[in-house]
Amino acid sequence: MGDLDLSFFDWALVQNFLLKGLVFSVELTIVAMIGGIFFGTLLALMRLSSHKWLQVPAALYVNTMRSVPLVMVILWFFLLIPFLTGKPLGAEWSAVITFTAFEAAYYSEIMRAGIQSVARGQVYAGFALGLDYSQTMRLIVLPQAFRNMLPVLLTQTIILFQDTSLVYAIGAYDLLRGFTNAGRNFNRPVESFLLATLVYFVICFSLSMLVKRLQKKIAIVR
Amino acid sequence: MTWDWQFFLKDIGDGETRYVDWMISAWGWTLAVSGCAWVVALLFGAVVGTLRTVPNRWLAGAANVWVELFRNIPLLVQIFLWYFVIPAIIPPLQQVPSFVMVVAALGFFTSARVAEQVRAGIQSLSRGQRNAGLALGLTLPQTYRFVLLPMAFRIVLPPLTSEAMNIIKNSSVAFAVSISELTMFAMQAQEETSRGIEVYLAVTGLYIVTTMVVNRLFAFLESRVRVPGYVGGGK
């Protein structure tokens, strides 16, 4: 192994290999975040409802998802989706569905804690004003829960972004795949992995610094 | 579709190993990778977590760098780093089996998370405990050894339980460098037998059983070392 040679790294490489992967990783993160928070909030509301028939399935879903490795969940969906729909779905679409379903379980735990952190008096106040359950939740409880949990939700999203690299298992073209392909193409795997490390670190570290600043801001207002 | 579990008793092609034997051996690899990585994670996590709370700014700063570094790079990328990059830069490491490299990757990755928990545990103790130790004439290391750490470790047992369960789940990423663990078995057996659903069900079941056992072990440990009068000692 000779010295590191980064001369293969130029704009053409970024355009040909990395950009496509980065766009997919970011898209996957954003879609899974929005979908995950949406379904996660529904799951949290189900678990906190007084009806057993809502509580039990939601708890079962969340606990199952949380006790299986993400790679296995990715493999499961990749196997099951074509089986259920009857036609094969690309690795990319399969990843989008998998991550939304998987992250919903994790976001739901955060939203559940968030809803429980809202003072009970707020709910009573809503009812006293004549709002019904869905109005109280939508207009009073959820906005506060969401706000209290915003830093945790965003931290989970950074973890989600890191986890998107696991679509490697089904061969979807994400940021990491872009780097491995570039490394193979130029026969420079070592440099390519080093660059991948650097890029992921810069993205995740700056995002986590932003979350920390946001956390301070929110803490002062409250 | 029909179930077919019979293939588990079929030969994988070498004349002596059945699929079920292969799966048990893969389970063993999962346990070995997670177990060894857990020892690494606990050791480094405890040291780094403790250093983050010491008054010396250089030591605390170095410990912070450690945590940020290992927390902000995806596990899969870290595994590739240990497997491809580090042996290329330090040639003697090329002789080291890939098992060791994966254990290092998973162990250091988890050590950052353990360090976070240990730091939080130490900082959750009231300032008076540290001061009391110092006032009694203990040196700072003695205060940590006899006063702070015995308390902190008991308090952080519940979050450490989830980290221990996480390390078993995260060991599945070792498939990427061809460690013959459960996920690798699932992928290969699925391909060879085309009985994907049965294979995945069995493997998923083993993961759930393993994490549950770890959960129970920690709950037992927690009840044994509970500190009377502390909520943190309970569940």
A117 close contact with B: CB closer than 8 A:
no
Domain ranges for chain A, please list them.
Answer: 11-221
Query: Which neighbouring-strand residues pair with B11?
Result: B18
pLDDT tens by residue, B170-225: 999 999 888 889 999 999 888 888 888 889 999 999 999 999 999 999 989 988 88
Q: Residue window 56-85, chain B: list those with CB within 8 Å of chain A.
A: 68-69, 71-78, 80-81, 84-85
Q: What is the pLDDT of residue B233?
A: 44
Other CB atoms closer than 10 Å to residue A205's CB: what's the count?
16
- Does the pLDDT at position A5 exceed 80? no
How does the average pLDDT of chain A come out, rounded? 90
pLDDT tens by residue, B29-40: 999 999 999 999
A68·B169 Cβ contact <8 A: yes
Cα B61 from Cα B124, distance rounded (Å)? 20
Q: What is the pLDDT of residue B231?
A: 56
Query: Which of A197, A198, A211, A212 to mutate: most B Cβ within 10 Å?
Result: A197
**Per mean pLDDT, which of A6-10, A86-90, B176-180 is the most reliable?**
B176-180
Give mean pLDDT, residues B158-172: 92
Q: A72, A158, A163, A66: which is closest to A112 by C-alpha?
A: A66
Contact (Cβ atoms closer than 8 angstroms) between residue B156 and residue B117: yes
pLDDT tens by residue, A159-169: 999 999 999 99
Point out the residue among B88, B89, B173 whose CB comes nearest to the CB of A166.
B173
A197·B84 Cβ contact <8 A: no
CATH of A11-221 among 3.90.1300.10, 3.50.50.60, 1.10.3720.10, 1.10.8.60: 1.10.3720.10
Confidence band (pLDDT; 50, 70, 90) for A220? low
Rama region for A187: left / alpha / beta (φ>0; ψ in -120 to 50; rest): left
ipTM summary value: 0.90
B186·A190 Cβ contact <8 A: no
Cα B158 from Cα B19, distance rounded (Å)? 37
Q: What is the pLDDT of residue A153?
A: 94
- Does the pLDDT at position A31 exceed 90? yes
Q: Which domains does chain B have, with CATH numbers?
A: 6-233 (1.10.3720.10)
Q: Could you tell me which residues come within 8 angstroms of residue A145 by beta carbon, excluding any fewer than 6 positions away?
A: A111, A114, A115, A117, A118
Give mean pLDDT, residues A117-122: 89
The H-assigned helical ranges of B52-139 are 57-71, 75-80, 86-89, 98-124, 127-135
Contacts of B173 in chain A (CB under 8 A): 69, 71, 166
A72·B186 Cβ contact <8 A: yes
B175·A71 Cβ contact <8 A: yes
Q: What is the pLDDT of residue B40?
A: 97
Contact (Cβ atoms closer than 8 angstroms) between residue B173 and residue B76: yes
